[in-house]
Amino acid sequence: MKDKLYSVVFTFLLSTFFVLVLAAINALASSRIEINEKLDFQRSVLYVFGFVEIEDNLSSEEIQSLYAEKITELTGEITVYVATVKGEKNYAFTVQSPGLWGTITGLVAVSSDASRIVGIDFVSHSETPGLGGRIDEKSFKEQFRDERISQDRNLRIAVVSGIDTSSNDDSRVDAITGATRTSEAVGKLINKAINEIFPTVLKVVN
Amino acid sequence: MADSKRETFFANIWKNNPVIVQILGICSALAVTNNLTNTLIMGIGLIFTTGFSSLTIAALRKYIPKNVRMMIQVLIIATYVIILDIVLKAYLPGISKALGPYVGLIITNCIIMGRAEAYAQSHGPVLSFIDGVSAGIGYSLILLAVAFVRELLGFGSLFGLRVLPEGFTPWVIMITAPSAFFIIGAIIWIARTPFVKKK
């Protein structure tokens, strides 16, 4: 009996101690994490509009000033990021859609009439590192630049394999080898962005 | 079991290597070895976690009730993994992003529990720390060897830098998990042949 009580008390005290340690570290770091995440997001927004490249090494001040200069945020039902690229207004917005393991949060920029994707970035996802996780890679994301959005509601952008995808007008991009399900999930994410979220974006903008 | 610091350290790197001798940590070895950068980060994360969790468990070993020791071990390991995650997010956001879900994978790595059970339970904190760190290094070395082959043949690059000419046709199998089975199998086979015979 005494042993059991000792086990319970010991486990309880040790758990409490570690939880407190974690809470303290978390409290100390959370403001920094928030700043990092915000910067990361602003960088993503700049990237989808094509203002920065993935390999550009920008300081946090540069990102903030560029963001303030180029991007207008409109808040309504959802937040829409507006920027003028080559004299044309483009809209960016976030979309959440299920991936293979968890939710993929994507940032999609489209032209004002939703005829073309301007750019795409993945803010967060939990796909398999090295397989589905490769949606983060430049070679995958760059395929979406200026890609025409198809009129077919079920297949706005087809993520395919073994078919020529080189043209920007064929609404097709190359899937990732070894990550069929993630590639399909990205296709679904874009369908959702255009079919469900874009009408709301127009409401916010107008 | 060797008890001098030196012997403890080198035992885990070769003679008692967690991957090729104890066959532990295979799941993560399959998952993360398709490029060298990820493998290296995973290795460093594991070295940190095994080292400090072994240290803590060894320091508390006389007070931990035997019947709940595994719960306590998991608690300690999980604490260090979460600390690692928070620190990376706050101070090294780039690496944290690259690491992503791996941090969670560290908790499930059997090597950490294995070292806690097999070594830290019965040895002092300093030796346990050395044991934990060297187990992590032993694991990382094998994984880096696997990743070297996989990245070179699967992508034609090393640490993301292209080393094979443009015209090189990547071996698709090297990108997917089965190739890690073959390579780890081959490494274990080669490493064990002279070693087993000696016994």
> Is there a contact between A195 and A153 (Cβ–Cβ < 8 Å)?
yes
Whether residue A62 has pLDDT greater than 90: no
Of B199, B79, B90, residue with least CA distance to A17: B79
- Which of helix, strand or coil describes residue A92? strand
Tens digits of residue pLDDT in B65-115: 888 888 888 899 999 999 988 888 888 777 777 666 677 778 878 888 888
d(CA A129, CA A124): 13
> Is there a contact between B113 and B46 (Cβ–Cβ < 8 Å)?
no
The contact set of B with A (CB < 8 A) is 31-32, 34-35, 38, 60, 63-65, 67-68, 71-72, 75-76, 79, 82-83, 86-87, 89-91, 93, 97, 100-102, 172, 175-176
Residues of A in contact with B175 (CB under 8 A): 130-131, 177-178
Tens digits of residue pLDDT in B166-191: 777 778 777 777 888 888 888 888 88
pLDDT at residue number B195 = 62
> Is there a contact between A160 and B65 (Cβ–Cβ < 8 Å)?
no
Residues of B in contact with A130 (CB under 8 A): 31-32, 34-35, 38, 175
Q: Which residues pair with A96 in a beta bridge?
A: A105
pLDDT at residue number A24 = 94
Residue A147, exposed/middle/buried by CB under 10 A (0-12, 13-18, 19+)? Answer: buried
* Higher-pLDDT residue of A112, B197: A112
Amino acid at B184: I
CA distances from B20 to A79, A124, B24 (A): 52, 35, 8
pLDDT at residue number B2 = 47
> What Rg do the C-alpha atoms of chain B give, in angstroms?
18
What is the mean predicted confidence (pLDDT) over A49-69? 83
Q: How far is Cα of residue B124 from the mean position of the Cα atoms in its chain?
A: 22
pTM assigned to the model? 0.74
d(CA B150, CA B146): 6
Residues of A in contact with B82 (CB under 8 A): 22
> Is there a contact between A107 and A90 (Cβ–Cβ < 8 Å)?
no
What is the mean predicted confidence (pLDDT) over B42-63? 89
Residues of B in contact with A14 (CB under 8 A): 60, 72, 75
Instruction: Enumerate residues 6+ apart whose C-beta is below 8 A from A145.
Output: A50, A117, A118, A119, A168
